[in-house]
């Protein structure tokens, strides 16, 4: 037994880090203490429901069943503590709701890096520019957004006032100053959503159960559409108005639990009666002894069962994670090994395709060369020979042309001088002939020459 206790105490620090309760854990893990005899309500089964053990500054505060579909809590469970009050400051978020791999194991302000923030929970900015305020289900709790629902401002204030009055006037006085008072506060979501994301409750409710000195229960319902009306009902009637099959306090004695109103009425009746029946001192001693023995045995059995559950959760949880890690590693290794032959075949196929492309290019070049005309190839081959051999002839032709141009120039010059001399001679002869009267003879001579 001592070894078992030591093992559990050694395992508790690891378990206390589990803010978002895992599938392998029972109930709400270390927050099961907030429920009657450690048993959470039955009937709230849905894959979108997340079990949260709300912790802040190293201390567990309350347990919450949160709907990631509606982005509001379905219920939060509390164990009444005298002097508990809401904490002022920024609204806190649950990091592991959006990032299951987050190392943050407590509520945070959201300033840290959280992957996918706002995917599975409502954020403070979702309430901006709307007619609704983030309203805690139970205002005597830390300011956690996972414990809030969107409510109109006037309804929020009246709901807090109603709960305070109920605690002060009925619940705490009838339960030995609240030492064994279990409180579950919840909301029923509607189809109406704020910014098409956060569901607005149809109504909010509260259920209370006290086991000592006598078992009794109480339920209240307040419709969001009627802020002035608080409906007080029995626990059975409250459960009938919640989703089918819900049992809030699963281990309460059905017929033994009465409402707070009935208990108050019975106490007042006994006070007014004359000479109520009182048991003797000997009977009261045996009753006290029986109650003490019963509570001791009950607490010992509960402690043993709690230790056994924690050990089983630890063992099976570690085995589950080992099995998950091993299968993940084997799957990844098998995938890599299977990809090696595929990669080799892919490389060989690429090499073969490369050779095929090279051969195709070579054949294409050969075919292109074969399609060229033979005469064109011969002309291309003989072009250098004819070009070199034609150089002397071209040079001679160029020199002949130059010489012809020069000779033509000389002929033109000498012809111009000869013509000019002939014209001058003819003009002089004509002039002298006319001058000396020999024009006739000269003209006759000219005619004869002609």
Q: Are strands 216-223 and 258-259 parallel, antiparallel or unpaired?
A: parallel
pLDDT tens column, 390-427:
788 888 888 888 988 888 888 888 888 888 888 888 88
Q: Is 287 or 319 the better-scoring residue by pLDDT?
A: 319
How many Å apart are CA 72 and CA 238, to the nearest integer?
Answer: 20
Of the listed ranges 84-98, 174-188, 345-359, the least confidently predicted one is: 84-98
User: Which phi and psi (to 5°) does residue 121 adopt?
Assistant: -150, 160
Task: Say if CB 445 and CB 429 are below 8 A apart.
Answer: no
User: Dihedral through CA 38, CA 39, CA 41, CA 45, nearest 10?
Assistant: 120
Answer yes or no: is pLDDT of 368 > 90. no
Q: What is the mean pLDDT of the chain?
A: 80
- Give the mean model confidence (pLDDT) for residues 337-351: 90
Mean local confidence (pLDDT), 96-102: 80
- Beta-bridged to residue 232, according to DSSP, are 220
**pLDDT above 80 for 237:** yes
Helix (H, G, I), strand (E, B) or coil at 144: strand
Q: Percent helix, strand, coil in the chain (nearest 5)?
A: 55, 20, 30
Q: What is the DSSP string of 161-180?
A: HHHHHHIIIIITGGGTTTTT
- When pLDDT is averaged across residues 82-94 and rounded to a whole number, the result is 73
User: What is the pLDDT, as a whole number, of residue 110?
Assistant: 62
CA 317 to chain centre: 27
Q: What is the mean pLDDT of residues 213-233?
A: 90
For residue 201, pLDDT beyond 70:
yes
Q: What pLDDT shows up at residue 61?
A: 87
- CA 211/CA 252 separation, integer angstroms: 8
pTM (two decimals): 0.56
Whole-number Cα distances in Å, 304 to 2, 4, 14, 48, 291:
12, 10, 20, 32, 20
- Is the per-residue pLDDT at 16 higher than 60? no
Neighbours of 247 (CB within 10 A): 17
Given the structure tokens 């608080």, which residue do they identify?
Answer: 230
Average pLDDT value for residue range 320-347: 87
Do 25 and 317 touch, CB atoms closer than 8 A? yes
Question: Which residues, including other chains, have CB under 8 Å from residue 193's CB and lie 6 or more apart?
Answer: 199, 200
Rounded CA gap, 429 and 353, in Å?
A: 105
Residues 235 and 175: their CA atoms lie apart, in Å, by: 16
Question: Between 245 and 373, whose confidence is greater?
Answer: 245
Q: Are 302 and 37 in contact (CB under 8 A)?
A: yes
Quote the tokens at residue 172. 């705490």
Between helix 2-15 and helix 281-370 the angle, nearest 10°, is 50
DSSP-derived pairing of the beta strands 133-136 and 148-151: antiparallel
The DSSP code sequence of 169-216 is IIITGGGTTTTTEEEEEEEEEEEEEETTTEEEEEEEEEEEEE-SSS-E
Tens digits of residue pLDDT in 245-284: 889 987 554 434 445 555 555 444 444 444 444 445 667 7
**211 band by pLDDT with thresholds 50, 70 and 90:** confident
């Amino acid at each position: 037994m001592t070894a078992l206790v030591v093992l559990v105490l050694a395992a508790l620090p690891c378990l206390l880090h589990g803010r978002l309760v895992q599938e392998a854990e029972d109930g709400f893990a270390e927050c099961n203490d907030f429920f009657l005899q450690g048993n959470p309500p039955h009937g709230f089964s849905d894959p979108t429901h997340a079990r949260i053990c709300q912790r802040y500054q190293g201390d567990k505060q309350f347990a919450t069943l949160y709907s990631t579909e509606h982005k509001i809590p379905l219920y939060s469970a509390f164990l009444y503590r005298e002097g508990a009050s809401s904490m002022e400051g920024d609204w806190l978020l649950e990091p592991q709701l959006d990032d299951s791999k987050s190392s943050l194991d407590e509520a945070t302000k959201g300033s840290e890096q959280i992957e996918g923030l706002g995917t599975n929970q409502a954020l403070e900015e979702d309430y901006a520019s709307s007619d609704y305020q983030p309203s805690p289900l139970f205002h005597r709790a830390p300011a956690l957004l996972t414990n809030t629902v969107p409510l109109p401002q006037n309804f929020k204030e009246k709901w807090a006032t109603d709960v305070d009055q109920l605690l002060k006037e009925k619940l705490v006085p009838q339960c030995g100053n609240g030492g064994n008072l279990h409180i579950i506060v919840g909301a029923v979501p509607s189809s109406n959503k704020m910014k098409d994301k956060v569901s607005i409750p149809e109504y909010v409710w509260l259920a209370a159960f006290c086991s000592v000195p006598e078992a009794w229960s109480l339920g209240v319902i307040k419709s969001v559409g009627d802020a002035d009306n608080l409906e007080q009902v029995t626990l059975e009637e409250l459960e009938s108005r919640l989703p089918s099959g819900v049992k809030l306090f699963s281990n309460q004695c059905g017929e033994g639990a009465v409402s707070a109103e009935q208990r108050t009425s019975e106490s007042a009746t006994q006070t007014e009666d004359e000479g109520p029946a009182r048991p003797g001192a000997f009977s009261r001693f045996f009753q006290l002894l029986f109650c003490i023995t019963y509570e001791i045995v009950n607490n010992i059995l509960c402690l043993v069962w709690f230790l056994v559950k924690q050990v089983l959760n630890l063992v099976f949880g570690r085995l589950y994670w080992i099995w998950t890690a091993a299968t993940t590693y084997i799957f990844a290794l098998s995938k890599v090994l299977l990809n090696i032959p595929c990669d080799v075949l892919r490389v060989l196929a690429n090499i073969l395709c490369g050779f095929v492309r090279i051969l195709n290019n070579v054949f294409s070049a050969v075919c292109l060369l074969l399609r060229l005309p033979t005469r064109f190839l011969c002309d291309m081959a003989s072009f250098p020979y004819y070009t070199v051999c034609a150089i002397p002839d071209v040079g001679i032709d160029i020199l002949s042309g130059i010489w012809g141009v020069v000779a033509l120039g000389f002929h033109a010059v000498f012809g111009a001088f000869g013509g000019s001399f002939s014209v001058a001679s003819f003009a002089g002869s004509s002039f002298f002939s006319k001058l000396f009267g020999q024009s006739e003879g000269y003209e006759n001579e000219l005619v004869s020459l002609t």
